[in-house]
Amino acid sequence: MIPSPLIKLARTAGAAPAAPAGGGPFLGCRGCGILFVATFCIALLGCVLNVSADELQPAKTLKVPSRQPVTLMDAFVDDAPGAPWLRLRFVAPKIADPSLPHAEVAGDMDHLCNHVALPYMDENNLTPERIVISLSDRELAFGARDVTAVQYFEVYRPEAGACIWEGL
Q: What is the per-residue pLDDT for 80?
A: 85
* pLDDT tens track for 98-138: 888 888 999 999 999 999 999 999 999 999 999 999 999 99
Strand partners, 163: 158
CA dist 80 → 56, 77, 83, 141, 142 (Å)? 30, 9, 7, 17, 13
In three-state secondary structure terms, 86 is: strand
Q: What is the per-residue pLDDT for 168?
A: 62
Q: Read off the pTM.
A: 0.64
